[in-house]
Amino acid sequence: MHLTTQPLLDLAALEAVLPELAERYAGGRPYPHIVLDDVLEAGTLARVYEEFATIPDDAWTNYLHLNERKYGNTRLDTWGPTMRAVAEAFASERFVAFLSTLTGIEGLRADDVMDGGGLHRSMAGGFLNVHSDFNAHHSKPRWRRRVNLLLYLNPEWRPEWGGELQLWSKDMKGCVSQIEPIGNRILAFNTDQDSLHGHPEALRFPEGVARQSLALYYFTEEDVHHPRSTNYRARPGDGFRGAFIHLDTRALELYDILKRRLRLTDGRVSQALGALSRARRRH
């Protein structure tokens, strides 16, 4: 990647208060997490917004099934130079060291292929059911997923549009915290079977406006004895819909196994999910 000479983020300012941030992270409820605002420099943020808007529609992979309706993009050739530079900054040795101290997890590694990550966007009607994430990298089987970092890239957001990320208790009895997807806000949190999160209500964004983010995942190198796919969970009150959430989760487990064994690309999985979605609509 070509790294711009313009300032991207003031990491020194974050490092100066790292002990305080680490304490806040460890004390996050319902599981360790932290929210950091105004992370990117103003000029960098403006250029990222401009570049995001120029990404062609055919560059996006669709994730359209019962448990989510969103689009992803890990094709760096379709990203602008500032956006690529930002991703490189978050993968730098210095930032990863900062993140390790922040989370208390030693040996973190940035993911150069962005397995499941990259740019995300959801349009009006989009949603993401409450879930815990897959725990092992699909092409690096000894990489265990440990930390999620989400950088929200919404130039405008209003409460009536919805899309707050909900953090749920591990017993799924209730939402404990909601994170508004405000532009230039980072949310970082531990990734394990109890880190249940999502934005399950259909987005009410205006036509042509999307919920946008950069998702980056960090791993440690160790044996992963029981690779686990994304585990979607029904909420209290979901009723019979909960059965469909469960069935769709089981189907996605099969996709996950095929992706690991056959090294399927996200594009091929996207095509399969799109066909499944169309078949559901016909019936």
* pLDDT score at 1: 41
Do the Cβ atoms of 102 and 21 come closer than 8 Å? yes
Domain range 11-274, its CATH number among 3.40.50.300, 2.60.120.620, 3.20.140.10, 3.40.190.10: 2.60.120.620
- Residue burial 91-104, b: 16+ Cβ < 10 Å; e: rest: beeebbebbbbbbe
Q: What is the distance between the alpha carbons of residues 261 and 282, in angstroms, rounded to a whole number?
A: 31
Reported pTM: 0.90
Give the pLDDT score at 269: 57
Kindly give the pairing relationship between strand 68-73 and strand 118-122. Answer: antiparallel
pLDDT band at 279 (very low <50, low <70, confident <90, very high): low
pLDDT of 247-275, one tens digit each?
Answer: 989 888 887 777 777 666 655 555 555 55
Mean pLDDT of the chain: 91
Which residue ranges make up each domain of the chain? Answer: 11-274
Q: How many residues does the chain have?
A: 283
Confidence of residue 158 (pLDDT cuts 50, 70, 90): very high
Band of pLDDT at residue 3, cut at 50, 70 and 90: very low
**pLDDT tens digit string along 83-126?**
999 999 999 999 999 999 999 999 999 999 999 999 999 999 99
Task: Report, as an integer, the average pLDDT of 209-213.
Answer: 97
Could you tell me which residues are beta bridge partners of residue 262? none
* Mean pLDDT value of segment 173-197: 98
Within 8 A by CB and 6+ apart from 124, the residues are 202, 203, 204, 205, 206, 207, 209
Predicted local distance difference test score (pLDDT) of residue 225 = 85
